[in-house]
Structure 1
Amino acid sequence: MTIEVKVPTLGESVTEATVATWFKKPGDSVAQDEMLCELETDKVTVEVPSPAAGTLSEIVAQEGETVGVDALLATIGEGEGAGAAEAPTKDAPKAEQSADNAPAQTKPDTSGDTTDVMVPALGESVSEATVATWFKKLGDTVAADEMLCELETDKVSVEVPAPAAGTLTEIVAREGETVAAGGKLAVIAGGEGAAPRAEAPQEASAPSDRSGADVEDAPSAKKLMAEKGLTSDQVTGTGRDGRVMKEDVLKAASAATEAPAPQAKQAPRAPVAAGDEGREERVKMTRLRQTIARRLKDAQNTAAMLTTYNEVDMKAIMDLRDEYKELFQKKHGVKLGFMSFFTKACVHALREVPEVNAEIDGTDVVYKNFVHMGIATGTPQGLVVPVIHDADAMSFAEIEKAIADKGRAARDGKLSMADMQGGTFTISNGGVYGSLMSSPILNPPQSGILGMHKIQDRPVVIGGKIKVRPMMYLALSYDHRIVDGKGAVTFLVRVKEALEDPRRLLMDL
């Protein structure tokens, strides 16, 4: 049987990559999930694991070649590697069977009376996660589909249920460890009296496991070791079979700089004053928070970001909402809020200024003939942006229902990857927290984001007279590489006009 190794999904708007390095050559035995090669895109480096155990029969795409998504990279045939992939030889045929019928990582591997708990599919372009919380401990009895642990990716949290009933006998990946999609998390024995394995917690980090084993360190770890002047002997690997990961190199590098501290460099942090020890708390950033920080900084470094401001008189919408909110809720089963008005107003303006709804891809401008509206939502874990797909084809009631559903899922940590992909424009409402004025940061690769703010009574001049009106500041941040100042100002003026006179939305003016 021949198994094909293909180019994985490379991420949103990335369609091709270059084969950078092959770690194996034809004829080599490979284990399942062992790294075969490394691909480089214009944004990230992608490692390609072996989908099954066997022998590398043929390399189709050589180093330096450009390949598209789902292109054939190599083929793997049956051979010595099939028997060496996993410790129990009798499991190899089962691995082949699951490769034929379904992705091996999503199907529990049962051998004898034990069942492996595997990392589930994490979503498009997500290859690893961090073990956040174990709800069970060694020796606990678990029921089928009972929640065992929670994984945290850079986008969503994923709960892992027990694939079968039994006793938790081994925890392979402890809290805080990084695991790859399809990696092994734990082992369940098929009975209540099975004894947990005593040595399990030390297996992942024992440096002696590397000796004599042909384990490839992560390419990102190799590059970082070269930059830091470290060797693999100086780094304790926490990956599979003692594989050195990037996080391991960072830990080793920080330990090396902290250990001998003879007045080398001035510490970046201010010294802790006497008596303040114990009053600080150092907490590792969650993967979601790290991703938020990285994406926001990338947006600032990449886009020529500029913000234009205006203000809108909210009286017309507030009067309309007060008049129809009870009838609206009675008929549609959802409250009439402000977000549906803003969404409709933005859709109306995007039709007139399509570049605000476009994105840059290399040297091309990609115009979207639809609107997938991102609605920025604050959660206890951080800011997420669920997407209302095809908002331009929705009614007020459909938009309000979609926003309510996505907001509830965001707060409960139940958003899927599909819920947060494909956005073409974003609305962020800082006014719910009391913000009077701000400059929102773009959500790449989008070219525009509208910032809403607090509604505040202010004196304004209307018809030569001073009147008190509920006013809101609006802010449009845009990518000046693709959106000119005229287009940005026109967009914001059209939003203002539609909100101050909602009848314009009905008449498409």
Structure 2
Amino acid sequence: MLIDVVMPQMGESVAEGTVVTWLKKVGEHVAKDEPLVAISTDKVDVEIPSAAAGVLAKIVVHEGGTAPVGAVLAHIDEASHAGAVQPGRPVMTQEEGVKAAAPPAGWYSPAVLELAKEHGVDLTQVKGTGAEGRVTRKDLLDFIARRSQTPAAARRVSPESPTPPAEDRILPISPMRRAIAEHMVRSRRTAAHVTQIHEVDMTAIDRYRHAHHDAFFGETGVTLTFLPFVVKAAADGLRAYPLMNASYTREGIIVKQAVNIGIAVALDEGLIVPVLREADKKSFLTLAKQLADLAARSRDKRLSLEEVHDGTFTVNNFGALGTMIGTPIIVQPQAAILGLGKVVKRPVVIDDTIVIRSMAYLCLSYDHRLIDGAYASAFLNHVQATLQEFDFSIVR
């Protein structure tokens, strides 16, 4: 009996995945739940376990190929695992099985062919590192990158010849970057984006951080940043204003009961949003520890599938990168995203007196299809008041 290996659903905003590496060859035995294939998406790189014990009979989507969620990637033969042999059918050795099931020489995956056509690459010039020497998508991307880095090396220019104009570099688009681009465009096309900005006085929190930074780190091993304060304030605000924790659908507005806050984490190759589940039920210390852990594992690509989907609201601390004001794009199908700008000291007027305070901007982008300006302002006022009057007794 043949068992299909399918591209799993890896988050409600993930529509496809790219096969990075097959961990088994055709003809090899695989145990149930044994890692079988490595998949890459815009959110996470993950190893997919085998759904059954048997022999990998056929690979449908080869390394470098991209397939939509639910597509068949390969077939596992359970009968081969059980030792069953069909009457009249000769027993095939593992080596013969590999040869019989392997694609013919000169075969290229659709993804490789499309990328080669896009960049004008002669695939016969690319050395393949895949099974049977096939050219994988990674082989082609590496070839394109090397070619774009030395465009002038292949040309001979005499000393008398004028200096040729510099050539533009063509950088290959990674699966993560392509998926991010598609999601951003889809979000702008889907939701009626509006951004409102409130100023928040972070002086009390800034002073607390400086006064307790060393002690907090010594006790917890975690750096005391602004982020857990903002996440705590946002979680409280989502409980007070539940439409901010909702989604717009044709059937109606779905108000989510769980407060699962996604945290935007910048990576060298893009952006990922791991999810902090039931944030409204967690203590400040738990929030701080889990935020640090999620950020670290995001950068090391050690997140699980469950940690990158089912978010109901997103917080983006772009102030950590020096940005003062931003207009973040909503993570679909959520209703809103909150950005925190850089906390800086500047003069402000309080009771007709000019004083120096630590100030920042709270930037809220929301879907105007289900949230109006007054409601968004009320939510921002709640978050602002929580931060400015923060109860520091809950920190430790």
State the TM-score, normalized to the length of structure 1: 0.55
Structure 1 partner of 2:203: 315
Write the distance in 1 (CA, Å) between the matches of 2:116 and 2:283: 56
Give per-residue Cα distances to partners, 1:175-232, cap 9 Å, x unaligned: 4223575523999xxxxx96974994536948xxxxxxxxxxxxxxxxxxxxxxxxxx
Contact kept? 1:429, 1:453, Cα under 8 Å? yes
Structure 2 partner of 1:183: 73
Write the distance in 2 (CA, Å) between the matches of 1:343 and 1:186: 45
Output the amino acid matched with 2:339: G
Write the distance in 1 (CA, Å) between the matches of 2:114 and 2:59: 25
RMSD: 4.5
- 1:456 alignment partner, one of 304, 320, 344: 344
SS at match of 1:202: coil
Structure 1 partner of 2:148: none
Write the distance in 2 (CA, Å) between the matches of 1:503 and 1:148: 49
> Is 1:470 equivalent to 2:372 in the alignment?
no
Contact kept? 2:11, 2:308, Cα under 8 Å? no
Post-superposition offset of 1:451: 0.7
Structure 2 partner of 1:281: 170
Post-superposition offset of 1:135: 8.9
Structure 2 partner of 1:396: 284
Write the distance in 2 (CA, Å) between the matches of 1:121 and 1:446: 22
Change in Cα spacing, 1:127 to 1:278, as seen in structure 2 (3 Å) is same
Change in Cα spacing, 1:492 to 1:127, as seen in structure 2 (3 Å) is closer
Q: How many residues align?
A: 336
Post-superposition offset of 1:435: 0.9
Output the amino acid matched with 1:183: L
Output the amino acid matched with 1:202: P
Post-superposition offset of 1:480: 1.3
Contact kept? 2:263, 2:273, Cα under 8 Å? yes
Give per-residue Cα distances to partners, 1:287-321, cap 9 Å, x unaligned: x2222112211221121111111111211001222
SS at match of 1:371: coil
Write the distance in 2 (CA, Å) between the matches of 1:352 and 1:162: 44
Structure 2 partner of 1:379: 267
Larger proportion of helix? 2
Post-superposition offset of 1:416: 2.2
> Is 1:441 equivalent to 2:343 in the alignment?
no
Contact kept? 2:196, 2:364, Cα under 8 Å? yes
Contact kept? 2:43, 2:273, Cα under 8 Å? no
SS at match of 1:477: strand
Output the amino acid matched with 1:315: T
Post-superposition offset of 1:428: 0.5
Post-superposition offset of 1:284: 3.2
Percent of matched pairs sharing the same residue: 36
Contact kept? 2:266, 2:272, Cα under 8 Å? yes
Give per-residue Cα distances to partners, 1:3-35, cap 9 Å, x unaligned: xxxxxxxxxxxxxxxxxxxxxxxxxxxxxxxxx
Q: Any residues of structure 2 matched to 1:14-53 within 5 Å, and which?
A: none
Q: Any residues of structure 2 matched to 1:54-453 within 5 Å, and which?
A: 94-95=1-2, 104-105=3-4, 121=8, 123=10, 128-132=16-20, 150-159=38-47, 174-179=62-67, 182-184=72-74, 197=99, 200=102, 202=104, 205=107, 238=110, 275-276=164-165, 279-286=168-175, 288-453=176-341
Structure 2 partner of 1:209: none
Asked which structure has the greater RCO (Cα within 8 Å, sep 6+), the reply is 2
- 2:373 alignment partner, one of 478, 485, 495: 485
State the TM-score, normalized to the length of structure 2: 0.69
Contact kept? 2:42, 2:272, Cα under 8 Å? no
Contact kept? 1:371, 1:390, Cα under 8 Å? yes
Write the distance in 1 (CA, Å) between the matches of 2:225 and 2:116: 52
Post-superposition offset of 1:481: 1.6
Output the amino acid matched with 2:309: Q
Post-superposition offset of 1:161: 8.5
Write the distance in 1 (CA, Å) between the matches of 2:105 and 2:60: 8
Q: Any residues of structure 2 matched to 1:491-502 within 5 Å, and which?
A: 491-502=379-390
Post-superposition offset of 1:282: 3.8
Write the distance in 1 (CA, Å) between the matches of 2:236 and 2:113: 51
Write the distance in 2 (CA, Å) between the matches of 1:487 and 1:162: 48
SS at match of 1:436: coil
Contact kept? 2:59, 2:73, Cα under 8 Å? no
Contact kept? 2:46, 2:305, Cα under 8 Å? no
Write the distance in 1 (CA, Å) between the matches of 2:362 and 2:102: 56
Change in Cα spacing, 1:149 to 1:438, as seen in structure 2 (3 Å) is same
Post-superposition offset of 1:159: 3.6
Write the distance in 2 (CA, Å) between the matches of 1:389 and 1:254: 41
User: Structure 1: where are the runs of 5+ without partners?
Assistant: 1-93, 96-103, 106-117, 139-144, 188-192, 207-236, 239-246, 256-271
Structure 2 partner of 1:24: none
Write the distance in 2 (CA, Å) between the matches of 1:367 and 1:348: 16
Give per-residue Cα distances to partners, 1:357-412, cap 9 Å, x unaligned: 22212141222333111111112332111111100000011111211221122111
Contact kept? 2:64, 2:112, Cα under 8 Å? no
Output the amino acid matched with 1:391: A
Write the distance in 1 (CA, Å) between the matches of 2:370 and 2:304: 31
Contact kept? 1:171, 1:201, Cα under 8 Å? no
Contact kept? 2:246, 2:335, Cα under 8 Å? yes
Output the amino acid matched with 2:73: G
Give per-residue Cα distances to partners, 1:438-487, cap 9 Å, x unaligned: 11111111111111111222111122222222211111111112111111
User: Structure 2: where are the runs of 5+ without partners?
Assistant: 27-32, 78-93, 120-150, 152-162
